[in-house]
């Protein structure tokens, strides 16, 4: 399963790939596993960033952001409480998920039943 995370302030995020052992998507389609990285808290306040480690949009045509290579993660448990097409008795059965970086960590793979 390909797990992509754009929530760059999460402690489990490594170059836009989630390294958490398990993920929980709640009823509101938010990644409940998200935890703000302690190392980024002070740095973000100084730079005026609220929910991003770095604002890539300012220089995205000059230098692309670093992304980890796609990795098939066989040993990750993705629990899902959302009313989603991929929710099979509380387990996500999608081929992969992406978590967005806008305000809240939203699962972008969500499709309503």
- Structural tokens at position 3: 């797990």
Place 92 in a pLDDT band, splitting at 50, 70 and 90: very high
Per-residue pLDDT tens for 66-85?
Answer: 665 555 566 788 999 999 99
Q: State CA 70 to chain mean position distance.
A: 14
Percent of the chain whose pLDDT exceeds 90:
34
Q: Is the pLDDT of residue 3 over 90?
A: no
Separation of alpha carbons 26 and 15, rounded Å: 24
Q: State CA 104 to chain mean position distance.
A: 10
Place 7 in a pLDDT band, splitting at 50, 70 and 90: confident
What pLDDT sits at residue 101? Answer: 80
What pLDDT sits at residue 42? Answer: 59
Could you tell me the end-to-end alpha-carbon distance of the chain, in angstroms, rounded to an integer? 21
**Alpha-carbon radius of gyration of the chain:** 14
> Which residue would you say has higher pLDDT here, 13 or 69?
13
Separation of alpha carbons 89 and 70, rounded Å: 27
Cα 48 to Cα 14, 20, 65: the distances in Å are 22, 27, 20
In this prediction the pTM is: 0.73
């Amino acid at each position: 399963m390909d797990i992509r995370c754009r929530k760059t302030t999460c402690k489990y995020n490594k170059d836009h790939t989630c390294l958490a052992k398990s993920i929980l998507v709640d009823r509101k389609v938010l990644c409940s596993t998200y935890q703000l990285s302690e190392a980024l808290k002070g740095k973000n306040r100084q730079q005026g960033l609220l929910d991003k480690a770095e604002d890539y949009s300012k220089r995205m045509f000059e230098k692309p952001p670093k992304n980890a290579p796609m990795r098939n993660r066989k040993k990750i448990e993705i629990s899902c409480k959302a009313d989603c097409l991929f929710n099979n008795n509380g387990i996500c059965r999608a081929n992969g998920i992406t978590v967005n970086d806008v305000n809240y960590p939203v699962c972008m793979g969500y499709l309503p039943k």
